[in-house]
Amino acid sequence: MKCVICKQGETRPGTTTVTIQRGDSTVIFKGVPADVCENCGEYYLLEDITRQLFQRAEEAVQKGAEVEILRWRATSHPIRHAILSWARSVLLSSKELPTRAIR
Ligand SMILES: [Zn+2]
């Protein structure tokens, strides 16, 4: 779509850094998917993503964080996967323990 700020550039899918200020708290999100203007750099967020951003900013404010820097959760999937495989390996090794104890 055409950028409504500069009325010159076209927006392209990309990622951006979003800063949300709530009272004394500042929450910075990195790598947020957005349509970015190739001319002026203005970004346009999807409504669903905006809602999630404010929800997570609200959580940071509740925790009393002054400045919180977060990565957009699309990058957290490999981490969750790593935790799962770690949990699985713990389960597997704990199953071996009683056998060893008997011997
Ligand atoms: Zn623009």
pLDDT in tens, the chain (103 residues): 899 999 999 999 999 999 999 888 899 999 999 999 999 999 999 888 898 898 888 988 898 889 999 888 754 444 455 555 555 565 555 555 454 555 5
Using the mean position of ligand 1's atoms as its centre, give its distance from the Cα of residue 71 in Å: 25
Using the mean position of ligand 1's atoms as its centre, give its distance from the Cα of residue 90 in Å: 51
Kindly report the pTM of this predicted structure.
0.63
Using the mean position of ligand 1's atoms as its centre, give its distance from the Cα of residue 56 in Å: 27
User: How do 43-44 and 11-22 pair as beta strands?
Assistant: unpaired
Using the mean position of ligand 1's atoms as its centre, give its distance from the Cα of residue 1 in Å: 10
Q: What is the CATH number of domain 1-71?
A: 3.10.20.860
User: How do 43-44 and 67-71 pair as beta strands?
Assistant: unpaired
CA 30 to chain CA mean position, Å: 7
Using the mean position of ligand 1's atoms as its centre, give its distance from the Cα of residue 30 in Å: 20
Tokens representing residue 58 in the block: 């609200």
Report which residue type is found at 30: K
